[in-house]
């Protein structure tokens, strides 16, 4: 039996009836209608065929049968095994590297903490020694004053007027001492001079303000015990109004000082009450202490200039000596070595003087700050930062405080742990006290490289105020460079390209500077001065590096 005979007769009849109906309808239509229908039906049939073909192709592309497991050849299996082993090895190495880096960082922090603690103990010992010396000087001063007073009384008794004048020049508040200073049995210098009959000494003491009316313990006056008629006549004819005038001026001065001190005490007490009521700390300034701080600041600046000169001179002499040694100039090297030792001695003395000046200034500022309730770093909008948090605060700027402030950071690093920390980081580190580091070309390349690779340019000024010197060195690279760097105009509109020289090589081409790296650049100044100049604290964002708590 053929395939046609197997089809259902129902379906065959239905198709025939449908076909007949279509033909009948077309036969009744006009020729134009039949032609139009033929075109339409032909287009529809072609469109349907194309759509079906497209669906089949799409279905063939998107719907793929599941792949069967393909067995790898031994070579392919070996390659996969090697790749897996290699990736595992690299991962283990990376893990070991990161663990080592973490351990190194923790070891560095521990070492810095120990060094900082040792430095803290040493500083406390130095401060204690300085206070001891100060107390010893005060005791020595009181002892010397007592000796001078004894000498004055004896010189007056012996009639040595020149000795009296010399002693009065040595003694502070000489006029007051002449007026109220008394020895045994309440006898004043003029009493003893009159008793000894020394006319010139009596006249000198009267002119310096000695009061001839002061009685001794037995009730006698200088005039009553005078052993010479000329002395008696001098005391009788002396214009007591001159003595009263000097006494009045002195009393007025003492009263003015007492009133000023009383006003300061009252103001401090009142502000203390206000602080307690308002639960805040108001500044209380001492005018005399403020003047002392100003004087100590000037002395500190002078010592800083001397210290800077000593550093520069020593570096010059070392360079000269190294040159002689390198060239085999033995005789000259002996001479330059002696000069180096002399420069070292000068530097040591300058360091001692600078340290003493800094200690006095620090103590005075500490006292003033305790009275005012202020903090130099915090008052300038800065922060305090433990050395362990420098990575977060300085390098990563977590919280964006440095970026929001807009100033470059200044590390107030009195114990040197931050400088050590930065030496171990990826920074361009320069020592401002080393002439080689501050040469214009080296400074230029350090700045340019820090911008190019997006890392900090660190300039360590140690304990010397070298900010003006650093600015001058920057301006020697390019005129006005220091100002462009401070206000950050150097980083805008590719102005940093003005630092590039034709001999720098392709690594400093325009295309090598990426914006994301440039934005990571920063200028960091480091100082060991406990109280940096106000201008420096204002121009930079101060970060006071704090000592960690000692581990018990």
Structure tokens given for 241: 């109004």
* Res 125: pLDDT: 76
Burial of 391 (0-12, 13-18, 19+ CB in 10 A): middle
Q: Mean pLDDT across the stretch 519-543? A: 90
Contacts of 37 (CB under 8 A, 6+ apart): 26, 29
**Which residues sit opposite 525 in a β-bridge?**
410, 459
Q: What whole-number distance in Å separates Cα of residue 319 and Cα of residue 326? A: 10
Q: Containing H/E element for 15? A: helix 9-28
CA distances from 354 to 302, 307, 349 (A): 9, 7, 9
Task: State the Cα–Cα distance between residues 186 and 180, nearest whole angstrom.
Answer: 10
Q: What is the DSSP letter of 69?
A: P
Query: What residues have CB less than 8 Å from 430, skipping those under 6 apart?
Result: 437, 438, 442, 443, 446, 457, 458, 459, 460
pLDDT at 184: 56
- What tens digit of pLDDT does each residue of 283-298 get? 444 446 667 777 888 8
What per-residue confidence (pLDDT) applies to 262?
75
User: If pLDDT is split at 50, 70 and 90, which confidence band does 1 have?
Assistant: very low
Strands of 383-386's sheet in order across: 383-386, 541-546, 409-412, 522-527, 456-460, 428-431
Cβ(315)–Cβ(435) below 8 Å: yes
Q: Which residue has the tokens 């005012």?
A: 372
pLDDT > 90? residue 451: yes
Res 289: pLDDT:
65
Q: Residue 527: what pLDDT? A: 92
- Give the C-alpha distances (Å, rounded to integers) separating 524 from 73, 303, 415, 448, 455: 60, 25, 17, 15, 10
Q: Which residue has the higher pLDDT, 313 or 500?
A: 500
The token pair that represents 524 in the structure block: 């960091």
CA-nearest of 222, 167, 168 to 195 is: 222
List pLDDT tens digits, range 199-210.
Answer: 877 877 787 778
Task: Pick the more confident residue, 112 or 79.
Answer: 79
pLDDT at 147 over 80: no
> How would residue 52 be classed by pLDDT, with cut points 50, 70 and 90?
low
Average pLDDT over residues 106-114: 77
Which of 265-269, 409-413, 422-426 bottoms out in mean pLDDT, i.e. has the lowest? 265-269
Check if the beta carbon of residue 211 is closer than 8 Å to that of residue 239: no
CA atoms within 13 A on the CB side of 288: 4
What's the mean per-residue pLDDT of the chain? Answer: 76
CB count within 10 Å of CB 75 equals 8
pLDDT in tens, 465-494: 888 889 999 999 999 999 999 999 999 999
Question: Based on the number of CB atoms within 10 Å of its own CB, is 359 exposed (0-12), middle (13-18) or buried (19 or more)?
Answer: buried
Strand partners, 532: none
Torsions phi, psi for 239 (to 5 deg):
-75, 105
- Tell me the DSSP string of 220-277: --HHHH--SHHHHHHHHHS-HHHHHHHHHHHHHHHHHHHHHHHHHHHHHHHHHHHHHH
């Amino acid at each position: 039996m053929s395939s046609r005979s197997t089809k259902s007769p129902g379906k065959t009849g239905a198709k025939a009836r449908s076909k007949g109906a279509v033909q009948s309808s077309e036969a009744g239509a006009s020729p134009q209608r039949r032609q139009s229908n033929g075109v339409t039906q032909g287009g529809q049939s072609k469109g349907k065929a194309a759509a079906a073909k497209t669906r089949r192709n799409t279905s063939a592309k998107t719907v793929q049968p599941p792949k069967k497991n393909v067995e790898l050849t031994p070579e392919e299996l070996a390659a996969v095994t090697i790749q897996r082993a290699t990736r595992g090895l690299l991962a283990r190495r990376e893990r070991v590297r990161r663990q080592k880096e973490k351990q190194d960082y923790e070891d560095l922090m521990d070492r810095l903490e120990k060094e900082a603690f040792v430095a803290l103990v040493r500083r406390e010992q130095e401060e204690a020694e300085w206070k001891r010396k100060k107390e010893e000087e005060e005791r020595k001063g009181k002892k010397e004053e007592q000796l001078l007073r004894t000498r004055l009384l004896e010189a007056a008794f012996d009639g040595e007027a020149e000795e009296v004048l010399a002693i009065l020049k040595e003694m502070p508040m000489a006029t007051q001492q002449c007026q109220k200073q008394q020895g045994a049995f309440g006898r004043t210098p003029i009493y003893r001079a009159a008793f000894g009959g020394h006319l010139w000494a009596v006249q000198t003491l009267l002119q310096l303000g000695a009061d001839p009316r002061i009685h001794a313990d037995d009730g006698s006056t200088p005039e009553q015990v005078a052993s010479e008629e000329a002395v008696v006549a001098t005391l009788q004819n002396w214009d007591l109004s001159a003595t009263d005038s000097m006494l009045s001026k002195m009393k007025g001065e003492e009263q003015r000082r007492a009133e000023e001190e009383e006003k300061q005490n009252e103001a401090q007490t009142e502000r203390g009450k206000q602080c307690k009521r308002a639960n805040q700390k108001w500044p209380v300034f001492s005018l005399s202490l403020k003047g002392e701080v100003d004087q100590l600041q000037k002395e500190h600046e002078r010592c800083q200039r001397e210290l800077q000169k000593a550093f520069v001179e020593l570096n010059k002499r070392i360079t000269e000596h190294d040159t002689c040694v390198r060239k085999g100039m033995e005789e000259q090297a002996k001479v330059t070595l002696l000069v180096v030792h002399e420069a070292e001695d000068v530097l040591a003395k300058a360091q001692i003087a600078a340290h003493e000046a800094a200690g006095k200034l620090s103590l005075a500022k500490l006292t003033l700050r305790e009275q005012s309730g202020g903090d130099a770093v915090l008052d300038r909008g800065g922060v305090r930062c433990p050395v362990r948090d420098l990575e977060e605060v300085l390098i990563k700027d977590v919280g964006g405080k440095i970026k929001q402030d807009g100033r470059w950071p200044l590390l107030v690093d009195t114990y040197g742990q931050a400088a050590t920390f930065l030496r171990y980081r990826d920074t361009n580190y320069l020592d401002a006290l080393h002439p080689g580091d501050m040469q214009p070309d080296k400074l230029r390349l350090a700045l340019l490289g820090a911008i190019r690779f997006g890392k900090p340019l660190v300039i360590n000024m140690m304990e010397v105020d070298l900010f003006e010197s650093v600015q001058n060195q920057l301006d020697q690279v390019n005129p006005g460079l220091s100002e462009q760097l401070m206000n950050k105009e150097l980083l805008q509109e590719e102005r940093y390209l003005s630092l590039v020289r034709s001999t720098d090589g392709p690594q400093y081409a325009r295309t090598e500077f990426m914006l994301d790296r440039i934005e990571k650049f920063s200028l960091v100044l480091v100082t060991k001065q406990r109280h940096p100049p106000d201008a420096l604290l204002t121009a930079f964002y101060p970060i006071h590096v704090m000592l960690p708590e000692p581990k018990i």
